[in-house]
Structure 1
Amino acid sequence: MKNYLSRFREFIVHDHAKVREEAYLNEAGSIIDLEYRQRQIDRGMFRQKNY
């Protein structure tokens, strides 16, 4: 049961991050800005850090 709940939580959290990433990309004003934003997302700008 614990494994099921942790997987469900990951799905929910992951989905919210994806929505925020897409909204951030949609705000790009030019192709250069879009590429810059894509690099930021690839570097983990919207991902939680598990220290």
Structure 2
Amino acid sequence: MFKQLQKLRRAFHVPSQQERANNYLNQATDRIDLEYRMRQVDRGVFL
């Protein structure tokens, strides 16, 4: 029963802005791409 509730909660989980930013930064392929993405996050462009 408890596992089913956990699965249901995860299914309706909406990622926070911080989680989305971290996921976006984690997808960087190299240092230059990471720096570019960090500038976008700082400016609020990607969100």
Structure 2 portions without partners, runs of 5+: 1-14
Greater relative CO, 1 or 2 (CA 8 Å, sep 6+): 1
Root-mean-square deviation (Å): 1.3
What TM-score, normalized by structure 1, do the two folds share? 0.58
Matched residue count = 32
> Percentage identity across aligned positions?
50
Partner Cα distance (1:37, 1:17) in 2: 15
CA deviation after TM superposition for structure 1 residue 27, in Å? 0.2
Q: Which amino acid aligns with 1:26?
A: N
| Stretches (4+) displaced over 2 A | none
Q: Which amino acid aligns with 2:18?
A: K
